[in-house]
A and B are shown apart, each in its own frame.
Chain A
Amino acid sequence: MFTCTKEASVEIVYYIVLVPMVYVACAVFVVGTIVRLVKILLEPKHPTTLQIYPEKRPRWLWALQDTFLFPTVIRHKPVFWVVLMLFHIAFLLLIIGHIELIAEIKIFQIIPHEVFLGKGFVGLILCLAVLYFLFRRLVSPYRDLSVPEDYYLLILLFLTFIFGSEMDWARRWYGYDSLTVDGYREYLSNLLYLKPYVSSDLTAPGHSFMLLLHVFFANLFLIFFPFSDFMHSVLSLPMNKLRRG
């Protein structure tokens, strides 16, 4: 008769979350995002201009400015703008940081830094910013405008950030160095080259629970991305282009 020990069951869970679920999440993220974008952009164009006047040229440059610098936000809600900018810059650094956890990328080291970049503050900023977004929604009139999805997505982001950050903080601020950058690179590069390997370093007690939860929530983030308002990261530019004409 087949028997499964508790340790074996835990290992299976680890393996599922750290390997097949990551592949599924990445596939859903890429395919879902492309399909949703293509479906929208294949619709017929609106027959009239939807721009706001006076117009400024070149329109595409102003649309880029609207998309990446949020001028309407700084004009009307400067404090919100500061948090938004901090969040989005930190998110960009987060992506760079994760790419550096796959392999060493020389161009990212133009400004020499230790991997993971940001000395722990990238995660801290993201966590605090998400908490700000979340609590902001609990106050009227934002509460009246929000739907459950808005809270769920922010909670999901917070959980992803907090467990990821904790590993970073533990290593940097509390000298916990069992799982090194090389350990992450071995795991992530093997995943990338379709040779998944979960080393015992990865599942060693101490950090493994945090890693498991971080990867689990990050997977959920990737899976939900194409079906949620996270898509604003992709749709914002074509929308701002409409306003600019």
Chain B
Amino acid sequence: MDKKTRDNLLKLFQGKLDEAMRLYLEQCTRCGLCTEACHAYASMGQIKYIAAYRHEIVRRIYKRYFKGRGKVWPSVGEAKELSEMALDELYEAAYSCTGCRRCMMYCPFGIDTQMLMSIAKLLLVGAHAEPEILTMLADTSIEKGKSLDLFKESFLAGIKKLESEVIKKWRIEAGETAIPIDVEGADLLYVALAGAHSIIPAAAVFNAAGEKWTLSFFEAVNFGAFVGDPTKTKLILDRIIKEAKRLKVKEVCICECGTAYRVMKQLSGKQPFEVSAVTEAHARYLKEGRIKLDKSKFKGKPITYHDPCQIARNGGVIDEARYVLQHLTDDFREMSPDPRYNWCCGGGGGLVALGEDTLDFRMKSAKVKVDQVQETGAKILATACENCHAQLNDLNGHYKMGVDVQFLSSLVADALVQ
């Protein structure tokens, strides 16, 4: 690696050094408490998947360039040069970590592996060594934000075709629109994913609850966050914030996408609207009596629920999902007695978006998740995240789990009492 490239990468590294990052980088006693925390280590038993081992990949570079000790006596802390080989190690560490932050529940200091891996991902972006597909998807999202008019008509036509499907789930009064779009003064802006499965059930539930809602032109997913590029993450986020402000909505409701929810909830800053996950909205409608669900729909089919890491452990939406599930079934089976310790599905951090490239690793690294699901004896495996759903579906096929993987919102829509 030439000096100029290294200097540029070190500038990127420097830019990530805030108080929290310094603490995470400066303090690890390598006690190994986090050993059993990672699903990849628990499933595959390889040391490179231990959280502390991943930390050290980043920390060794930090020690070499940002600590006096690393310059004077590098061997004492195994400080390491930033080289091509180091980039390979960073890639391996960052793209085998789903950012689930389960290891934070083991570390006596609460070191955030996802934060440290965000440095690794940023360095890879700086060296143009990141997974190209994620950057391309992020760029597409940004471009869509810049030139909304170009795709507006085709988007509206596509949505129109979905309306009959929505009406099948919930009849609406004549003159009402099944999927309202671009409604100024609506109470709620729903940000979906590019896919009917993310729009139809949600629309049916909003209509059933009598919500004054409108569908966003943009998809919720933030590929900028997956690839670890803070600039792109912000640009993708800003499109939705701008739209929400333009429509003067009171609430931005994010579809079943963990990363999108966490980014919007925690990165959008102080805004004139609230941010919610669609599961929260559904729980609210049930509490307020705005929707009713028919439990008999899933009779004889025990349901278990996979807490998406970014929504539950990292986003705080835990009880709401259970409240919804209480209204769906009398046979709900918890996976973990403490949702903070629920195993990650193994699909986060952009791994599912990388498709076939990561499939083998995703299947091997999530064996503990499969065991956890199977121990419940449930027939329906519900979740509230696109990535988790895709990964759990893959696991279901690979391990022949014999469960029906469902979005929680779909179960709600299917059980609506007219």
Contact = CB atoms under 8 A, between A and B. Distances in A.
Interface of A: 36, 39-50, 52-55, 66, 70, 72-73, 76-77, 80, 140-142, 144-150, 152, 227, 229, 231-232, 235-236, 238-240, 242-243
B340 A141 contact: no
Greatest chain B CB density within 10 A among A41, A70, A140, A145 is at A145
B313 A53 contact: yes
Nearest to B339: A54
Interface in B60-115: 68-69, 75-78, 101, 104-112, 115
B19 A232 contact: no
B111 A148 contact: no
17 contacts: A41-B19, A43-B17, A46-B18, A47-B269, A53-B312, A53-B315, A53-B318, A76-B33, A141-B35, A141-B50, A148-B77, A149-B77, A232-B29, A235-B27, A235-B109, A239-B23, A240-B110
Interface of B: 17-24, 26-33, 35-36, 47, 50, 52-53, 56, 68-69, 75-78, 101, 104-112, 115, 266-267, 269, 312-316, 318-319, 339-340
A34 to B, nearest CB: 15
Contacts of B318: 53-54
Contacts of A43: 17-19, 21-22
Nearest to A240: B110
A45 B29 CA distance: 23
A48 B27 contact: no
B30 A140 contact: no
Contacts, number: 132
A146 B31 CA distance: 8
Contacts of A55: 316
Given A44-B18, A50-B115, A235-B109, A147 B30 contact: yes
A39 B76 CA distance: 22
Contact of B101 (A47, A52, A231, A235): A52
Contact of B108 (A48, A50, A52, A70): A70
Contacts of A231: 26-27
Nearest to A244: B110
B314 A73 contact: no
Contacts of B50: 141, 144-145
A-B pairs with lowest CB-CB distance, top 4: A243-B110, A53-B316, A46-B20, A43-B19
A243 B266 contact: no
Contacts of A48: 266-267
